[in-house]
Amino acid sequence: MPEAPDGVGYVFGYGSLVAMGGELTPESRAWAPVPGRLRDYRRCWGAAMNNWEAGPTQKHFLDPESGEQPRIRVAYLDIEEEPGRTVNGLAVPVDRGRLVEIDRREMNYLRIDVSAAFEPPLPQPVYAYRATEEARERCRRHQPDAEIFVSSDYVAAVRRAFADLGEGALEEFERSTDPLEFPQRHLQVVSPPPAGPGGKLPY
């Protein structure tokens, strides 16, 4: 592998970001995505957003039948440290502009450096996104006036991304992911186009 220019690293996708392997920018295109695992992490349904708080310039969900923006919480995948567990996924090369764009998109997550936990070792930094404490609290908190759901399209997109990753990847995803505790609901995602470089990001 050639030496990467300044500003190029990797983002480890463990959910829908696995599909980002097909969305490379010109600067990062020379470096292939790297399938791998995070040591001592587990994957869980631990992040949620308040759908009713999202404005028109933010990602939100509509009821496909009524067209309304329902007052619900929508849950997503998250990672947490846990010795002895592993999480499979894909490390995708990104340039500086792409990283800024993903930071903007992942507003309920924090970017962390997981280089030391990623296998196989890579010469450039490897980042992953874990949920903020606020996003995690939304999953834990009982809120009867705002039920919590998982988008069935999101689940399908994640499963499709892992099925495309290679033989056994989807099965490993299912083994290494905590059971889904929330009901699925068909929701129409509204994702405003990114302001910066990099094109449309996956789900």
Question: What is the predicted pLDDT for the residue at 7?
Answer: 60
Residue 145 inside a domain? The answer is no
pLDDT in tens, 59-83: 899 999 999 999 999 999 999 999 9
Question: What is the predicted pLDDT for the residue at 29?
Answer: 52
CATH of the domain at 167: 3.10.490.10
Question: What is the predicted pLDDT for the residue at 175?
Answer: 96
Residue 106 inside a domain? The answer is yes
Question: What is the predicted pLDDT for the residue at 3?
Answer: 42
Question: What is the predicted pLDDT for the residue at 28?
Answer: 47
Low-confidence ranges of the chain (pLDDT < 70): 1-7, 21-30, 193-203
d(CA 69, CA 63): 6
d(CA 158, CA 163): 9
Looking from the CA of 109 toward its CB, the CA atoms found within 13 Å total 22
Collapsing DSSP to helix, strand or coil, 165 comes out as helix
pLDDT in tens, 24-35: 555 545 578 999
Residue 13 inside a domain? The answer is yes
Residue 66 inside a domain? The answer is no
Please give the tally of structural domains in the chain. Answer: 1
Residue 172 inside a domain? The answer is yes
Residue 166 inside a domain? The answer is yes
Residue 2 inside a domain? The answer is no
Residue range(s) defining the domain that contains residue 86: 9-48+77-135+154-181
Residue 53 inside a domain? The answer is no
Q: Please state the pTM of the whole predicted model.
A: 0.87
